[in-house]
Amino acid sequence: MDRTPTARDRRVRTAIFPVAGLGTRFLPATKATPKELLPVLDTPLIQFAIDEAREAGIERMIFVSHPSKEAIERYVRADAELEATLRERGKARLAEMLHDNAVDEDAMQVRFVMQPEPLGLGHAVLCARDEVLPGPVAVVLPDDLILGGEGCLKEMIDAYDPARAGHMVATMQVGAEEVSSYGVLDATGREGGLILARGMVEKPAPEAAPSRQAVVGRYLLDASIFEALDGLPPGAGGEIQLTDAIAAGVETVGLCGFRFSGVRYDCGSKAGMLAATMAYAGGQAAYASVLAAPPGGLTTAAE
């Protein structure tokens, strides 16, 4: 049988956003507000993830959520009533901003599926199986915010060549003491921005880590990932691990890491959230000062 993927099959058309986690690290803020809606300055984390997927040309977004987090769906979908109220009150710019932020369901499809129990990231991805479009899928973890540069997902899709490696994961180098917080590549070499790999281990002890190339929350996965996840036993931490399913496909579909150009912030931690907020606020302030500058550009004290 000819297994050469057709051009359409090779296109990454679906993005899966696992958003079912309870966000215990941010309690009490997350008691009634999903952690994906916590703002980085004024923009909820989920908005960055949506914008990144949009920039990458994704056609369908699947949110794997939890029944207690219906506020995410309210945020993602357009709210015509709120927009109309804002317009009536002369706040057309705000209405427009909300409209632009929300997913335009004429241009893009949105699906919500539930993951009622926290059985792991692999299980969350498996929950999306019946809703994915044909071909490889992207997985985006909104906790991992990547700022600066081109959108990470777009960069990955531009570099993706399933004939060489059907699974591609975003990676960054971390310190030896940090490897136990990540999935880690068993790296064999480099080729440009790609890190060639023959395996991947979830949260290894420092002395057992095959490298210091840590996986951050952006994945392009061959469609066979769903078969690999189906029936997969729990791994590290007693959870069904996406890492294990990726590692199981190394021989058949291949695996590589991708060194993205932006800066990643771990917004699942308070320190990371704070750092992201400062970086984003700094960018916004610089942008605002350019907008406020007199025609002809910014002046300096020397002028």
Interface residues with ligand G1P (CB under 6 A)? 121, 141, 144, 182-183, 202, 214-217, 242-243
Among residues 76 and 214, whose Cβ is nearest to ligand G1P? 214
Among residues 102 and 232, whose Cβ is nearest to ligand G1P? 232
**In this structure, how many other beta carbons lie within 10 angstroms of the beta carbon of residue 149?**
12
Among residues 30 and 243, whose Cβ is nearest to ligand G1P? 243
**In this structure, how many other beta carbons lie within 10 angstroms of the beta carbon of residue 31?**
9
Is residue 60 a contact partner of residue 131, using CB atoms and an 8 Å limit?
yes
To the nearest whole angstrom, how small is the minimum distance from the Cβ of residue 121 to ligand G1P? 5
Pairing of strands 144-147, 167-173: unpaired
Among residues 183 and 249, whose Cβ is nearest to ligand G1P? 183
To the nearest whole angstrom, how small is the minimum distance from the Cβ of residue 216 to ligand G1P? 5
To the nearest whole angstrom, how small is the minimum distance from the Cβ of residue 241 to ligand G1P? 6
As a 3-state breakdown, the chain gives helix, strand, coil percent values, each rounded to 5, of: 40, 25, 35
Among residues 14 and 243, whose Cβ is nearest to ligand G1P? 243
Termini Cα distance of the chain: 71
To the nearest whole angstrom, how small is the minimum distance from the Cβ of residue 85 to ligand G1P? 38
Indicate the SS3 state at residue 187: strand
Residue nearest to ligand G1P (CB): 183
Is residue 19 a contact partner of residue 34, using CB atoms and an 8 Å limit?
yes
- Phi and psi at residue 276, in whole multiples of 5°? -65, -40
To the nearest whole angstrom, how small is the minimum distance from the Cβ of residue 141 to ligand G1P? 6
